[in-house]
Amino acid sequence: MTTLSLDSVFRRLRDTDAWRSVVRHGTASTNRNRSLVVFENLFLHVHPVKVREKTLRFTHTYWLGGIALACALILVATGVLLMFYYHPSVPQAYRDMKELEFVVDNGLFLRNMHRWAAHLMVFATFLHMMRVFFHRAYRPPRQFNWVVGVVLLCVTLLLSYTGYLLPWDQLAFWGVSVGTNMAKEAPLVGEKARFLLLGGNIVSENALLRFYVLHCVVLPVALLLMLSVHIWRVRKDGGVQGPPEAPRGKEEVR
Amino acid sequence: MSTLPPIELVEGVDPVATPRRIALVRPDRRPAVRTTDEKYVMTFPNLILREVILFQLVVIGLALAAILFDAPLEGIANPLETPNPAKAPWYFLGLQELLHYFPPVVAGVLMPALVVIALVVIPYARINQTAGPLWEGAGPQRPLTLAAAGGAVVALFAAFRCWPIAVPTAGVLLAMFAARGGAGAGRVRRALTKVTLPEWIMVWFAIVATILTVIGTFFRGPGWSFVWPWTRAVAF
Amino acid sequence: MPDPENGPVSDAPPANPERRDFLTRLGVGACAAAAVGSGLVTLDFMKPKVLFEPSTTFRAGSPADYPDGTVRFNKEQKAYVVGCPGGVYALSAVCTHLGCITRFLSDQGVIACPCHGSRFDLEGNVVEGPAPRPLPWLDVGLDPSGLLVVDTSITVAHGKVFKA
């Protein structure tokens, strides 16, 4: 009789028909199966099957883009949970904050995590941009992905800013009042843009609802779409290090 | 040794249903294959495991932060009562600090728009592709041009009494000239002399943005007056 | 080799180039018109047509309540009503810089903004700070019962004092 170790349980599970219908490759630790792990998975296949060892070094990327992506995933998860307790109306929005803080189990924890992840994402995105610039990773063929990155930075800032109003406390109200008054100073379109953004002349319930829709639907969808393009282009443009360097000492065969 | 089974050849009858690709490769005309000396490793497990660990570290770090520090929540919004000082979120406090020195249309619209445009055109500007180290092959007029341009920027910001920009600008300018003289020893010297003009500009932008944001966040109190950070709490 | 299923792809010029050109323009034009049209309709949709914002007029008492140098602050309407020799005028309390609510500091006799340090004198002129314009003067009138009525949505010329 075999001992019932965790390993044997997993091995037996992997041999079932149901498991094999999901994961088609075998279980042996061969390079072929390791390739198939990446190759046959919708989410992992943004990666090539093999990567250059150089690119795994910490100092190569400082993993800053990865930190920003991790924050984005955490923000989606915590944000969706917070939505279950939030009404975008005055004064219910503020009451919901109090409810999350004092009544709902782990409500305070989730709100805290959402807030700190948002700050970290803005910070990591900025540092990521600096890293890419000083490594000259915006050079051809990766020019367009740099532009996508700038758009992503703007979307990240807008997401953070629209989320800032939602608690409807003094900090939120005046932070947004001051910010939208800056938009008013833009020539020609400023006043109209502010009216459209706020849905009125003052920061009111209309503005709260608009910021809510932008924060929970429009901007996250835009972020995830652009993020997909960004990550896909990293691979298409040659990986996090760009196209491989030509071999030294040998002439390229043409 | 086991014997291999005999190879079974299946011949396609219908060339449309069973297409065959035939390529003729002449030894002197091989198709270009990009090769490299670099060492490659399998993505799974090398990269995937690192990514999973990174995600876990971020989750752990944020969970600890969420347990230790509470997100700020002040009183309910009151349009009639402006808190003193009224601050935007931290990443806009650099802009808000600029608003202290420049009219709103300059600080709130013109400058951020210029920053975004400058960022977008970075990969399309030729200087970013071709620029070598700042002082490499420099003619006699390059230091003069640089001193004039840098001096003009410093003078412009000084004229608006915007010292948080004027002073770091002067500092970066000095560092640029120090790189010419070969200041510093060993690694620092080598690093300084290699920096290109676009990189100096980005260093300048990063330093100025950081200083403005730090001042706006920690050193501004009631009436946007200068205060020491330990005299008042900061809400993020 | 011609493919009987899919037909050959021809590089030959079209038999009727004007017709092809016209159809291309028609197609691109129709798509562009549809895109612009739906954009404009969406923009119009986003403009609120009914606003539930507070009334912009308020009563400020009788003119006799404002001897020279009196400053009264109406918190809800964000306006100052100031008495001066021979009349009364009203000033917006919203800072012309970024819309913070200013405060009248009676000990210093100035109106100060808490946000970015702008200061105004009692006529609304900028004394100090980043505010780009003086505080606007607001419309002051009398209602039938002889009480002052200020409308914060109407600005009047700087220096137009209401004489009762």
**pLDDT confidence of B149, banded at 50, 70, 90?**
very high
Inter-chain contact C117–B224, Cβ cutoff 8 Å?
Answer: yes
A241 inside domain: no
Closest of A56, A107, B104, B68 to residue C115, by C-alpha: B104
Task: Tell me, yes or no, whether B94 and B65 share the same domain.
Answer: no
Task: Tell me, yes or no, whether B158 and B67 share the same domain.
Answer: no
Touching subunits for chain A (3+ Cβ pairs under 8 A): B, C
B152 inside domain: yes
Average pLDDT over residues A186-213: 90
Inter-chain contact B99–C130, Cβ cutoff 8 Å?
Answer: yes
A44 inside domain: no
Beta-bridge partners for C83: C88
B9 inside domain: no
B179 inside domain: yes
What is the pLDDT, as a whole number, of residue A3? 64
- Write out chain B residues lying below 8 Å of A174, CB-based: 82-83, 86-87
Inter-chain contact B96–C101, Cβ cutoff 8 Å?
Answer: no
CA distances from A88 to A84, A94, B39 (A): 11, 9, 54
Please provide the DSSP assignment of C6-26 as one string.
T-PPP-SPPS-HHHHHHHHHH
B203 inside domain: yes
Return the number of CB contacts < 8 Å for B and C: 45
List, for residues C83-109, the tens digit of each pLDDT value: 888 788 999 998 888 788 888 988 888
Task: Tell me, yes or no, whether B100 and B158 share the same domain.
Answer: yes
B134 inside domain: yes
Closest-approach residue (CA) in chain C for A174 = C100
- Contact assessment for residue C87 and residue C60, using Cβ atoms and an 8 Å cutoff: no
A225 inside domain: yes
Task: Tell me, yes or no, whether B97 and B137 share the same domain.
Answer: yes
Inter-chain contact B108–A94, Cβ cutoff 8 Å?
Answer: no
Task: Tell me, yes or no, whether B102 and B210 share the same domain.
Answer: yes
What residue numbers bound the domain in which A185 lies?
A: 54-236
CATH of the domain at A187: 1.20.810.10
pLDDT greater than 70 at residue B128:
yes
Tell me how many domains chain B contains.
2
Distance in angstroms (rounded) separating the CA atoms of residues B100 and A188: 23
Tell me how many domains chain A contains.
1
Inter-chain contact C53–A200, Cβ cutoff 8 Å?
Answer: yes
- Write out chain A residues lying below 8 Å of B206, CB-based: 130
What is the pLDDT, as a whole number, of residue B3? 64
Task: Tell me, yes or no, whether B133 and B194 share the same domain.
Answer: yes
What residue numbers bound the domain in which B48 lies?
A: 42-71
pLDDT greater than 60 at residue A247:
no
Beta-bridge partners for C126: C120
Task: Tell me, yes or no, whether B164 and B221 share the same domain.
Answer: yes
Task: Tell me, yes or no, whether B157 and B185 share the same domain.
Answer: yes
Mean pLDDT of chain B: 84
A227 inside domain: yes
List, for residues B155-187, the tens digit of each pLDDT value: 999 998 899 999 999 999 998 888 887 656 677
Select the residue of B38, B76, B88 nearest A178 (Cβ to Cβ).
B88
Distance in angstroms (rounded) separating the CA atoms of residues B88 and C85: 41
Inter-chain contact B54–A67, Cβ cutoff 8 Å?
Answer: yes
A91 inside domain: yes
> pLDDT by residue for chain C (164 residues), tens digit each?
455 566 666 677 778 889 989 999 999 999 999 999 999 999 999 988 888 777 888 888 888 888 888 888 988 888 999 988 878 899 999 888 878 888 898 888 899 887 777 889 988 899 888 788 899 999 998 888 888 899 888 888 888 888 86
Task: Tell me, yes or no, whether B222 and B121 share the same domain.
Answer: yes
Average pLDDT over residues A95-124: 96
A128 inside domain: yes
- Contact assessment for residue C158 and residue C142, using Cβ atoms and an 8 Å cutoff: no
B43-68 and A64-83 helices, crossing angle to 10°: 50
C115 touches chain A (CB under 8 A): yes
B147 inside domain: yes
- Contact assessment for residue C130 and residue C120, using Cβ atoms and an 8 Å cutoff: no
